[in-house]
């Protein structure tokens, strides 16, 4: 038998559960609705969406293809390398085709005008055909780091350990996919490297061969940057925009060149900020902590102004 106090407690529990259930149901209805104008960018759930986990698998496969033995498990015999690469490339083709198809709804150029499945398969095939060129450029990056860093004891150490190579594998993959017209996926892949290494390279940037980032933490390379060959950056360098051109609605305009052009054989030391659509001429050196917003000719040396040391006595200078 329940006494009066137990009855009161039970009724209160029932009321609370009823109220909680009502709140949950109302919340579900609000989140399920499509009439919220503030969230009109929500995807069409009738179509496949990209998978972060599968894109991670794609990146790992590419690492194991361009640097077999370093990634993806050991290669026990050189004679089996061709078979091993064939298996990995076949798997890459299937995964990449699926993921390119998954972002078709984000394609503002080809959406509705092409056979999505055929387009995805053809684009994946084109990417695989470019893999030898991607590996060749990455190998020049490894050489550039080895030649420029006295702490690097061998090329294997660079491939295994250096965050810049990890970031460049993602960048060169993402940039190639972007050049093939693939939406969204390039940015996801570049942001994976950003999260892993602290190096933020937009896939739209154009970077030449023999590219070296030493240390790397905090490096930012903007979307419209153009970087030549044999360029070296140190940690904390920003190749960014100075200001944004605005569209008719007052928002930053898209696809406007706003980041620097860095010519061949340029060295930029730590925490330098190179801002705006300016040109750093070939063979130039930009010192650490420099704030550069104007173009400089080839063979320039731009350094911080030396600190002015002064001493004051008897209250002078106060």
- pLDDT at residue 9, as a whole number: 73
Q: Tokens for 98, please give them.
A: 């699926």
In tens, the pLDDT along 87-127 reads: 999 999 999 999 999 998 888 777 666 888 999 999 999 99
At the fourth CATH level, the homologous superfamily of domain 205-305 is Hexapeptide repeat proteins (2.160.10.10)
Q: Map 186-201 to HEC letters.
A: HHHHHHHHHHHHCCEE
Q: Mean of the pLDDT values across residues 275-302?
A: 97
pLDDT value, residue 312: 52
The pLDDT confidence band at residue 150, using thresholds 50, 70 and 90, is very high
pLDDT confidence tier of residue 11, bands split at 50, 70 and 90: low
In this prediction, residue 32 has a pLDDT band, given cuts at 50, 70 and 90, of confident
How would residue 38 be classed by pLDDT, with cut points 50, 70 and 90?
A: low
In this model, does residue 294 exceed pLDDT 80?
yes
Asked whether residue 1 carries a pLDDT value surpassing 60, the answer given is no
Looking at the chain, the domain(s) classified CATH 1.10.3130.10 span: 49-199
- Please give the mean pLDDT across all residues of the chain: 89
pLDDT band, very low/low/confident/very high, at 23 (cuts 50, 70, 90): confident
Residues 211-221, mean pLDDT to the nearest whole number: 96
Per cent of the chain over pLDDT 90 is 69
**Nearest to residue 123, comparing CAs of 177, 54, 203, 204?**
177
* Average pLDDT of the residues in 263-285: 97
Quote the pLDDT of residue 255: 84
| Position 309 confidence tier, pLDDT thresholds 50, 70, 90 | low
* pLDDT for position 317: 47
The reported pLDDT for the residue numbered 311 is 54
Rounded to two decimals, the pTM is: 0.85
pLDDT value at residue 48: 81
Judged by average pLDDT, the poorest of 47-51, 146-150, 173-177, 246-250 is 246-250
Residues of the chain with CATH 2.160.10.10: 205-305
Q: What is the arithmetic mean of pLDDT over 42-53?
A: 79
Pairing of strands 220-221, 226-227: unpaired
Residue 87: burial class (beta carbons within 10 Å; 0-12, 13-18, 19+): exposed
Fold for domain 49-199?
1.10.3130
Which pLDDT belongs to residue 12?
A: 74
Whether the pLDDT of residue 10 is over 50: the answer is yes
């Amino acid at each position: 038998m329940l006494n009066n106090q137990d009855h009161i407690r039970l009724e209160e529990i029932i009321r609370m559960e009823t109220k909680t259930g009502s709140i949950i149901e109302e919340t579900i209805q609000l989140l399920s609705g499509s009439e919220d104008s503030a969230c009109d960018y929500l995807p069409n759930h009738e179509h496949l969406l990209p998978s972060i986990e599968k894109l991670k698998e794609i990146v790992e496969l590419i690492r194991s293809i361009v640097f077999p033995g370093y990634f993806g498990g050991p290669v026990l015999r050189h004679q089996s390398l061709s078979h091993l690469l064939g298996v990995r490339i076949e798997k890459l083709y299937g995964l990449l085709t699926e993921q390119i198809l998954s972002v078709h709804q984000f394609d503002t150029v080809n959406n509705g005008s092409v056979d999505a499945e055929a387009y995805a398969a053809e684009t994946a095939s084109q990417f695989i055909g470019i893999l030898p060129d991607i590996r060749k450029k990455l190998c020049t990056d490894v050489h550039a780091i080895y030649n420029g860093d006295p702490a690097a004891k061998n090329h294997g150490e660079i491939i295994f350990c250096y965050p810049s190579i990890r970031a460049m594998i993602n960048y060169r993959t993402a940039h190639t996919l972007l050049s093939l017209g693939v939406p969204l996926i390039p940015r996801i892949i570049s942001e994976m490297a950003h999260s892993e290494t602290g190096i933020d390279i937009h896939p739209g940037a154009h970077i030449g061969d023999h590219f070296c980032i030493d240390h790397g933490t905090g490096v930012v390379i903007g979307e419209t940057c153009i970087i030549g060959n044999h360029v070296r950056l140190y940690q904390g360098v920003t190749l960014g925009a100075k200001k944004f051109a605005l569209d008719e609605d007052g928002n930053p305009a898209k696809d406007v060149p706003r980041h620097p052009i860095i010519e061949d054989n340029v060295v930029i030391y730590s925490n330098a900020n190179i801002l705006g659509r300016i040109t750093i001429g070939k063979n130039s050196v930009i010192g650490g902590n420099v704030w550069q917003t104007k173009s400089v000719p080839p063979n320039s040396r731009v350094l911080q102004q030396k600190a002015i040391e002064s001493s004051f006595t008897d209250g002078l200078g106060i």
